[in-house]
Structure 1
Amino acid sequence: MTMDLFSQFASSTLLGTPLILLAMLTPWLFFPLPSTRWTNNRLLTLLNWFMIGFTKQLLLPLNAPAHKWAFLLTSIMVFLLSMNLLGLLPYTFTPTTQLSINLGLAVPLWLATVLMGLRNQLTHSLAHFLPEGTPSPLIPVLILIETISLFIRPLALGVRLTANLTAGHLLIHLISSAVSATISMSLTVSALTFLVLTLLMTLEIAVAMIQAYVFVLLLSLYLQENT
């Protein structure tokens, strides 16, 4: 039972080849291509409105040097959002439930913000390790705590995304199994369980959107500290 429950998070293979790369590239096939017409269709107009509005909202608190990250942050948001939502469909695989994938996104982006801060404003970046007015006996302890909090940031980014999506998928799997198990015993209980499953699916769609936004928002906050 345990292996069946967690087997949904195992990457599918074809002839011994993992298909996780295909699962990561598939969402991009559903996005419409740019049109050569003067007026875009409704889908392209809606997509452009979303991207422009999200980019403005994301870059509003950031300094001017951080605005060059606009394309990268928006692309990551769309990438995570599409993978999270497509993973809720039946017979699909969600790459963002893999901690290795999420850490592979979080660590390089976090490291880029840290290196940029050390290169452009070394004194300001190092000042985060030791607040002004700290008593001398607490200096080594505070430096150690700030160093740990700095290096734990990419781990928190990856684990947060993985844990939230994995928990939602497990709950959906358990409740859907309960629906099929109770339908032969009581239609009323099965119908109530199916209603709970419908509400959980709605919640999971919201979680998929929110977690993609939180991932990019935290990256923008790290970027704000280093620009």
Structure 2
Amino acid sequence: MKRNRSDEKTRRAPSGAAVPRPELTEALYRAFFEEWADRGFGALSLERVAARAGAGKAAIYRRFPSRLAFAEAAISTLGLRIALPEVEGTTLQEDILNLLVQTRVVLRHPMVRRILPDLHAEAARSTEMRVINDRVAQARRERAEVLLDRWVCRGELPEGLDRDLALDLLVAPLYWRMVVRGVTPTFAELETQSRAIMAGLSALGMTTTSQ
């Protein structure tokens, strides 16, 4: 039986440039963050990143033209996965508490706690890193808008809520305690914090309504 030449062509591996393998790209992202956590972005070496991932430096440059492009891809791809957890509660306080509990899981990771302060420091020094940081933060805020919409639709918060300030309030107290102060709150403390945030959100609504 003769083989179909067109079938052989479709099965044949492409010649020329290698096709990036998704699993290697993921390994490079993980190695990138490990290197960043250990040494800081300023001292980050792409050679060491490649070695951590069990690859050559060429594997990085086949995917990204520069260290900054690598950083943008890594932060955007993996950063958004942990930017805002999925929250499914039945009340405002339950939603806020679930958000805090899930965010605590992310922020208590040693690598995350070392990278985040350095990311903000780099953003203060570098316009390019500021753009990357702002882009990821904006994506997180857009996802949090879904929560605000839910609470407004359920009548738990007013439509005239100051949304920008509300988005700051949602996780800022937890971020300050865990990343800035290095303290991991207990579940009971998260419950107290959720009530305080809920009161703050309600106060924002009342302030907006009275104006």
Taking structure 1 as the reference length, the TM-score comes to 0.29
Structure 2 length normalisation: TM-score? 0.30
Where relative contact order (Cα < 8 A, 6+ residues apart) is larger, the structure is: 1
